[in-house]
């Protein structure tokens, strides 16, 4: 069985500040890990994914995440927040086979000027 | 089309009414998924197709939910005798290809969703 826990339903940062969104996973098989972003009234857009290989993954819009197996974590970071980053962020875990994804409950990122 | 297309975008149904939600995946995509996203929650898996074959329907919440993809492209999610708890966003997603038992890591592309409100 697989599960995802996102710590903090809301995260508030100032424009230009570091963004850190936390994700911990549980998986009985080597996990594939994903971060998706959802803007209001829109679908999910893939930010980045970890499958195998390098544990530091770079994504779109300046985001990156690091897979830490020992901590079962896949936290999302961005050095400097922009107003346009305000959205809902979802962490998801998948495994082998057809990639049924299990999502966390999401973290809403609020960016203030 | 360029992305996954879903229709209708918004649907208001009276309790007890049947609804049908349509998904046009990205052309050539073999895998198709349906997810349900309740307000304030993350998406939850409903069902998966590989071409026309429905390989997993373990997430369908009741026998009132039915999905099909008869020609391996367009898919329809049907909900019979809708209830208020069915109110949610229904997300369709597709990916290029995958093989059972292997780790493909293919990117899954989501549509904008069909927002269903049951009154």
Shortest Cα–Cα distance, A46 to chain B (Å):
8
Mean pLDDT of B38-60: 93
The answer, yes or no, to whether residue A52 has pLDDT greater than 90, is: no
A106 CB within 8 Å of a chain B CB: yes
Q: How far does the CA of residue B100 sit from the closest CA of chain A (Å)?
A: 5
Q: Identify the helix (H) or strand (E) that includes residue B19.
A: strand B19-24
A vs B, Cβ pairs < 8 A, gives 72
Name the β-bridge partners of B116.
B11, B88
Burial, A78: exposed, middle or buried (Cβ in 10 Å; 0-12, 13-18, 19+)?
buried
Q: Which pLDDT tens digit goes with each residue over B54-110?
A: 999 999 999 999 999 999 999 999 999 999 999 999 999 998 875 444 444 578 899
Interface probe with A: pick from B26, B31, B43, B106, most Cβ of A within 10 Å? B43
> Using CA atoms, how far apart are residues B101 and A98, in angstroms rounded to an integer?
8
DSSP string for residues in A54-66: -SEEE-GGG-EEE
Span A15-43, average pLDDT: 92
- pLDDT value of position A43: 87
Q: Is the CB of A49 inside 8 Å of chain B's CB atoms?
A: yes
Best residue in A25, A32, A100, A107 for a mutation probing chain B (most B CBs within 10 Å): A100
Cβ–Cβ below 8 Å for A98 and B106: no
Enter the tokens of residue B32: 């198709």
Confidence of residue A5 (pLDDT cuts 50, 70, 90): very high
Residue B1 has pLDDT above 70, yes or no: no
Distance CA A4, CA B33 (A): 19
What is the average pLDDT score of chain B?
A: 91
Statement: residue A98 has pLDDT above 60: no
Confidence of residue A27 (pLDDT cuts 50, 70, 90): confident
The answer, for A70 touching chain B at a CB cutoff of 8 Å, is no
Report DSSP letters for A72-103, one per residue: TEEEEEESS--GGG-EEEEEEEE-STT---EE
C-alpha–C-alpha distance, residues B119 and B117, integer Å = 6
* Chain B environment of A1 (Cβ under 8 Å): none
Pairing relationship of beta strands A107-112 and A10-14 according to DSSP bridges:
parallel
Say which of B41, B95, B110 has its CB closest to residue A44. Answer: B110
Among B67, B50, B58, B23, CA closest to B104: B50
Partner-chain contact A105 B108, CB within 8 Å: no
As a whole number of angstroms, the distance between CA B12 and CA B73 comes to 26
Please name the residue of chain B whose CA is at the shortest distance from the CA of residue A33: B105
Percent of residues, chain A, with pLDDT higher than 70: 96
pLDDT of res. B96? 84
pLDDT at position B103? 41
pLDDT at position A97, please?
Answer: 58
Record: contact B103-A52, CB cut-off 8 A: yes
CA torsion B30-B31-B32-B38 (nearest 10°) is -160
**Model confidence at A84: pLDDT above 90:** yes
Residue, of A52 and B6, whose pLDDT is higher: B6
pLDDT at residue B104 in the model:
46
Interface test with A, best of B103, B107, B113, B117 (most A CBs within 10 A): B103
């Amino acid at each position: 069985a697989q599960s995802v826990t996102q710590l903090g339903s809301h995260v508030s940062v100032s424009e230009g500040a570091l963004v850190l969104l936390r994700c911990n996973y549980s998986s009985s098989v080597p996990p594939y890990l994903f971060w998706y972003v959802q803007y209001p009234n829109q679908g999910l857009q893939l930010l980045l994914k970890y499958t195998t290989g390098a544990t530091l993954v770079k994504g779109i819009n300046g985001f990156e995440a690091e897979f830490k197996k020992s901590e079962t974590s896949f936290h999302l970071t961005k050095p400097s927040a922009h107003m346009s980053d305000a959205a809902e962020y979802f962490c998801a875990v998948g495994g082998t086979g057809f990639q049924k994804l299990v999502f966390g409950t999401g973290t809403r990122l609020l960016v203030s000027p | 089309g360029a992305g996954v297309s879903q229709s209708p975008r918004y649907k208001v149904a009276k309790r007890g009414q049947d609804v049908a939600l349509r998904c046009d995946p990205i052309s050539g995509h073999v895998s198709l998924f349906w997810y349900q996203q309740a307000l304030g929650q993350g998406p939850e898996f409903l069902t998966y197709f590989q071409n026309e074959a429905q390989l997993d329907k373990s997430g369908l919440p009741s026998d009132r939910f039915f999905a099909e993809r008869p020609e391996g492209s367009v898919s329809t999610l049907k909900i019979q005798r809708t209830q208020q708890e069915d109110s949610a966003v229904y997300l369709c997603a597709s990916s290029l290809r995958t093989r059972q038992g292997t780790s493909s890591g293919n990117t899954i592309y989501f549509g904008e969703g069909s927002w269903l409100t049951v009154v």
